[in-house]
Structure 1
């Protein structure tokens, strides 16, 4: 059973073309991401790119005893292998896990994998930049980033804990900045409560964990409201609690079998410009495929210690890659399916958070009209999706005979079952996501703030009364095992 990053790597060795490695010396400065762009990044990365295996870099310049793994989740098929689920059913798996959570198990610490080696910030010569081979994805980035860190903190009032992923830029020997997307983010709410009291917020960042934790951590409200610990979804996926270990220097917990753990505190009231070391004005590549602009005032984490396993593996990703699609998109599908089933039982057959939207901006809904009164409910399904995941920008609704995971088939429906003047529904002035470069007053003067968008529904379903006229050609069903087909050489 997969229970940590190392067992995940071993599991993938069983499958063809799902994991690869290189022993060639590679620089974490721009080279790791530059190589993986060609190997298997996919997603919204600038072409040429493709879907390919995860890649383990075993010879990182300046870090002789550490490795870098990239692209672990950059394939829906690979996620299916790691979660033991058919790729087209992953949304349903996550939906059921969210409905049947298993809370994490908290232990006092002691002999735990993530604390095999300990480096205290109080020690002379401590420098996190020399301990972690955190990649810088492009030469214009603000600096090296931790992109796959499971950030764990607790509500200073209620004590309820939560885990999320944020971009973390290493700024000095013992400081990093933390970016929060504006809106409802659990850890940001905890930070605000602590700041109002004038106290620092203890926080742990676990890097290199069971991929079930990485997927589960990407759920968002309303599916997982404030106070819901997403580690319980990971527990449900593995059918056992996620084990948490007490940190060595702060009053908080970390994921016990992580490869690395950073222990620190979000310092009350302290802010730092993200590109303070580079002055490029650029942060890092983000999921829409563009490099994000730096934030002028980000919260600062003061690092207290770094712990890790022997010969640790730091896990990373390219922001716009298929990895983001898997991590953000599959929980999005689960959230939509949960609400659709409550409102329109049996009508929505499946949902795909499309890769072109980074798993956030676009959803394709497969809808089955079963009776005449279902006409119009397909548009209700689209509205429900926009409610289930507020960062959605576009929803495409297709019939049950369309493969939602095949973009060509979806575009076929758009071309043969859609008329722009009657099948387009627009909802202007709705809050979406600030990383979309069209969502701001400079693009559309009618928009009052960044992150506001016109949400659009594309109804590519056949009107119920015309279904007989839109039957796809019916080919003979055959059993391909009856035929021996070999390459012609």
Structure 2
């Protein structure tokens, strides 16, 4: 059993050995808003509307309308849990992933006999084929545009098959064989490949793998410049596990899928065709996104025509995520930390000791950077580090700079430093008219007509809470006695 390749089931078995990290229930749950509504209280966290909290991952074994299918939510909704699953200290996951990017282990293709993802096959030619009854895609709220696949790994290649990539997109089930996929403009490799297919006026074959080892899903969220065009992020997962991710050839499309996934959808993105994302509801809403607000329904999402659905036979697991949850924070934030560390370590080695992208920024909009000032010539290096962070990740909006004695994972400690080591007229820096994440709801021209010329632009902010090197003696924290046996007093 120990030599079995990593997949979601192996991870869940390991997680069951840790108290309070995974809870399964046989109580019936409706996937339409109820499932996410329940987990909101149990463990969603992140930027979800309060009350919410950090809690266990949940496995729902009795899902209305989907006998035999289980739904998993919240697997990565705790940074400590991510550390457990990766067998690594959660404080330094950013550096761990940076090293994994630098030392990828490339995926391998296996035979059908070694691909449990293809144990049960449903083709679009089957008379009763309907993706909406085969895939237990939940809705986060009652106002969603439809059932969404939120943890589906889209695999695609360039038309000449020289480059391959995997990315995660929001995908809504529109009818029995149609999926609307939102591909955010700029940067994503899948979008680049699609542009090439559109110029050829040819459909782009893709597979969507659901229910995966979290090393795969988290590794897949890297973006340029850390993983440039042509870099296959499946190598990151291979490095995390020190074993190659297993692929299998698609049954109905010329593309590979994850051989050990729980569900696989095969299909083609139609060239030069789009559709209204909320065509079935006309609510104007898509689904809750990472900033904590409902995303606007896109009037022109790309169209995937489904050709087949495959899954494991033994109670396959549909995996899902709440858009603004702590799970998304970790999916987006830890790779962003790795990207920032990768750039600053090359440009100013040894000056940034750690980076944390906290839940308050949804993993994307805010970074806390811990700075080492060892000599007088380091004064000002902290602001250089902030500029490098914006260069490493254009969707970053706010950088908070703190000293080494501040716990960057404790927001009380971070805000303390802004109250005791920060003067707004000296230490607040605004950078107007820069690129940002298009899902930031404050990016309205009416909000800031001078610097927001179009959606996806924003002013950016540096809050410098570091102490100048020549004033450090004035800001020494009260030193308490180090007591090694303090825990004995709790017995």
Q: TM-score range by the shorter chain?
A: over 0.9
Give the alignment of 1:67-146 within 5 angstroms.
67-146=70-149
Comparing 442-451 with 325-334, greater Cα deviation is found at 442-451
| 2:456 matches 1:451 | yes
| Structure 2 stretches lacking a partner, 5+ long | none
Residue matched to 1:186: 189
For residues 329-372 of structure 1, the C-alpha deviation after alignment (integer angstroms, 9 at most, x for no partner) is: 00000011111111111111100011111100000000010000
In structure 2, how many angstroms separate the alpha carbons of the residues matched to 1:11 and 1:483? 30
Q: Could you tell me how far apart the structure 1 residues matched to 2:356 and 2:286 are?
A: 29
1:129-152 CA distance string (max 9 Å, x none): 000110011000000000000100
Distance in 1 of aligned mates of 2:345 and 2:434: 24
Q: Is the 1:360–1:391 Cα contact (8 Å) retained in structure 2?
A: yes
Q: CA deviation at 1:22?
A: 1.3
1:236-287 per-residue CA deviation (whole Å, 9 max, x = no partner) reads 1111111100010000000000000000000111111000000100000000
**Map of 1:352 onto structure 2:** 356
Q: By how many angstroms is 1:482 displaced?
A: 6.6
Aligned partners of 2:228 and 2:362: how far apart in 1?
A: 22
**TM-score of the superposed pair, with normalisation by structure 2:** 0.98
Report the Cα distance in structure 2 between the residues aligned to 1:385 and 1:13, rounded to whole angstroms: 37
| Residue of structure 1 equivalent to 2:20 | 17
Instruction: Name structure 1 gaps, 5 residues minimum.
Output: none
Query: Could you tell me how far apart the structure 2 residues matched to 1:29 and 1:354 are?
Result: 29
Match of 1:66 among 54, 69, 75: 69
- Mapped partners of 2:214, 2:7: distance in 1: 7
Query: Which residue of the partner structure matches residue 464 of structure 1?
Result: 469
Contact 1:440 1:451 in 2 (8 A): no
Distance, in Å, in 2 between the alignment partners of 1:432 and 1:252 is 33
Cα deviation digits, residues 192-221 of structure 1 (max 9, x gap): 100000100000000001110011001011
Q: CA deviation at 1:180?
A: 1.3
Q: Which one of the candidate residues 230, 236, 239 is aligned to 2:239?
A: 236
Q: CA deviation at 1:159?
A: 2.6
The CA RMSD measured in Å over matched residues stands at 1.0
TM normalised by structure 1 equals 0.98
Corresponding residue for residue 176 of structure 2: 173
Q: Deviations over 1:26-50 (max 9, x none)?
A: 1000000000000000000000000
User: What's the CA shift for 1:394?
Assistant: 0.2
* Corresponding residue of 1:431: 435
- C-alpha contact (below 8 Å) 2:114/2:259 kept by paired residues: no
Please say which of residues 17-26 and 255-264 is displaced more in the overlay.
17-26
Aligned equivalents of 2:262, 2:205: Cα separation in 1? 20
What is the rounded CA distance, in whole Å, between the counterparts of 1:150 and 1:261 in structure 2?
9
